[in-house]
Chain A
Amino acid sequence: MKSNKNSVSVILNRDERGVLADWVKLQLSSSSLRADLMTESDLRQQSQQFLGLFTTALEQNAPADVNAPAWSEVRELLGQISRSRALQGFSPSETATFVFSLKEPLYARVRAELESDPAALADATWTLTALLDKLGLYTTEVYQKSRNEIIDRQQRELMELSTPVVQLWQGILALPLIGTLDSERTQVVMENLLTKIVETGAPLAIIDITGVPTVDTLVAQHLLKTVAAARLMGADCIISGIRPQIAQTIVHLGVDLTDVITKSTLADAFSIALKRIGLSVKPA
């Protein structure tokens, strides 16, 4: 095994420039090239850096395991490249192709070198394949991870955006809920509402669930918890925007909403809230 890897390293040492030129040319001509997302000079620079570190790692007789410390610099560089590509909008295969496309120019050279010794050629090819595959998979992994980070961040931002508490009148708050309620979101909703109640000193809050697509036992329980917490602080809640379908579901599920004031529309809820604080709307 050692000699095989050495033969690759010998080739790379002798002709790194040539391999790099071929590799970059291949990447530029490949259909997966995204000229719209990155410039040729960037690609050339990345390729050069990677090939340099790859050669160094091979020279140090690095083991085939890419998680070994000898490969740490290569992994770091690949991680950077994958991350930046994930952010730029490359697809996973386009990102992995960066490593996989190195096979062609390397194989051609290994073959020319070891043509006389089929067994050694097969061995060298296998070692190289195993290595580059692992590195390619590593890029995909990092890519996936950075994508997940982006998704997580967006979820957080969405969470902050999707739970506004608005003041309808002096002493009346409204919380229009949009989208499915899960435990995490309910927590944010509850905290937002309660903090706002303290800030404004509003004795009434309307929770509007027109935008909540489905209500199951869990969602109902979350709503009841919010209502109970608001009541503990001294504010009453009105739940509005209950669609006929949801009213049926709530009853079928056996959820007890008798202690909560419910109205079918936000307008109804608002009018009862006004009445509660002793106001009425008259035509001018």
Chain B
Amino acid sequence: MERIPILKMGQYLLVTIQVDMHDQLAMTLQDDLTAKIVSDRARGVLLDISALDLVDSFIGRMISDISKMARVLDAQTVVVGMRPAVAITLVELGLSLEGVRTALNVESGMDLLRSVTS
């Protein structure tokens, strides 16, 4: 079955979405990620969605949910690389992802993650 890889980088987890997200894939990702946060005792999650060019309300909510779930497990989430079209779509859908940290690219996202988890 298709899965989104979750990479471990020190105390952080790196998730790069490089395929079209569909609902099943999103659910699997939530399962895998929460399990991995617990098993690796991760402090932060970096969610790179720079390759994602199509979102709907479900995927939007999934991003917000992942961030909330991670927080419950004491890990901070930073979403990086959102494309303009995706950002506009999410805002028009009324999903402004309050409480989700964002950064322009992986580098600044990593900096932000370090500063909030230190």
Cβ of A74 under 8 Å from chain B: no
Q: Give the interface residue-count category, chain B.
A: 20 to 34
Specify which chain A residues have a CB less than 8 angstroms from the CB of B102 in the assembled complex.
Answer: 231-234
Residues of chain A in range 194-249 having any CB-CB distance to chain B below 8 Å: 194-195, 197-198, 201-203, 225, 228-235
A152, CB-defined interface residue at 8 Å:
no
Say yes or no: is B82 at the interface (Cβ < 8 Å to chain A): yes
Interface string of B57-97 (1 = CB under 8 A from A): 00000000000000000000001111110111011100011
Q: CB-nearest residue of chain B relative to A195?
A: B84
A202 and B88 CA atoms in complex are apart in Å by 18
Given contact pairs A201-B104, A203-B104, A229-B84, A234 touches B109 in the complex (Cβ within 8 A): yes
Known: A234-B82, A234-B103. Contact between A190 and B108, CB under 8 A? no
Distance, CA A218 to CA B18, complexed state (A): 36
Q: Does A191 contact B (CB under 8 A)?
A: yes
B-side interface mostly: mixed
- Shortest distance between the CB of B52 and any CB in chain A (Å): 12
Interface residues of A, dominant DSSP: helix
Give B109's nearest chain A residue, CB to CB: A234
CA distance A231 to B102 in the complex (A): 7
Report whether B104 and A235 are in contact in the complex, using a CB–CB cutoff of 8 Å: yes
Task: Tell me the minimal C-beta distance from B15 to chain A in angstroms.
Answer: 16
Residue B91 contacts which of A198, A201, A229, A235 (CB distance < 8 angstroms)?
A229
Specify which chain B residues have a CB less than 8 angstroms from the CB of A202 in the assembled complex: 104
Tell yes or no: B105 within 8 A of A by CB.
yes
Q: How far is the CB of B100 from chain A (nearest CB, A)?
A: 8
Find out whether the CB atom of A233 lies under 8 angstroms from the CB atom of B104: yes
Q: Please tell me if the beta carbons of B104 and A228 are within 8 angstroms of each other in the complex.
A: no
B92 cross-chain contacts in A, Cβ below 8 A: 225
User: Quick check: A191 and B84 within 8 Å, CB to CB?
Assistant: yes
**B109 CB contacts on chain A under 8 angstroms:** 234
Candidate in A190, A194, A201, A230 with the most chain B CB atoms within 10 angstroms: A194
From residue B44, how far is it (CB to closest CB) to chain A in Å? Answer: 15
Q: Point out the residues of chain A lying under 8 angstroms from B96, CB to CB.
A: 228, 231-232
Q: Are A197 and B88 in contact (CB under 8 A)?
A: no
Which chain B positions have C-beta within 8 A of A203?
103-104, 108
Determine whether the beta carbon of B83 is less than 8 Å from that of A198. yes
A233 to B88 CA separation, bound complex (whole angstroms):
10
Closest-by-CB residue of B relative to A228 is B96
Min CB–CB distance A221 → chain B (angstroms): 11
Nearest residue, chain A, Cβ from B105: A201
Q: Which residue of A lies closest to B95 (CB)?
A: A232
Q: Indicate which residue in B79, B88, B97, B103 contacts A191 across the interface (CB closer than 8 Å).
A: B88
A163 to B88, CA, bound (A): 17
B82 closest partner in A (C-beta): A233
Residue of B86, B88, B91, B108 near A234 (CB, 8 A) is B108
CA distance A160 to B86 in the complex (A): 22
Q: How far is the CB of B83 from chain A (nearest CB, A)?
A: 7
Most chain A CB atoms below 10 A, which of B83, B88, B97, B108: B88
Q: Report the Cα distance A235→B101, complex, angstroms.
A: 10
Return 8 A-B CB contacts under 8 Å, by A number.
Answer: A195-B84, A201-B104, A202-B104, A225-B91, A229-B87, A229-B88, A233-B83, A234-B109
| Chain A positions near chain B (C-beta within 8 angstroms) | 190-191, 194-195, 197-198, 201-203, 225, 228-235
Given A233-B102, A234-B81, A234-B103, 4 more contacts at CB 8 Å?
A: A203-B108, A232-B97, A233-B81, A233-B84
- Shortest 5 CB-CB distances between A and B: which pairs? A194-B84, A234-B102, A234-B103, A229-B87, A228-B96
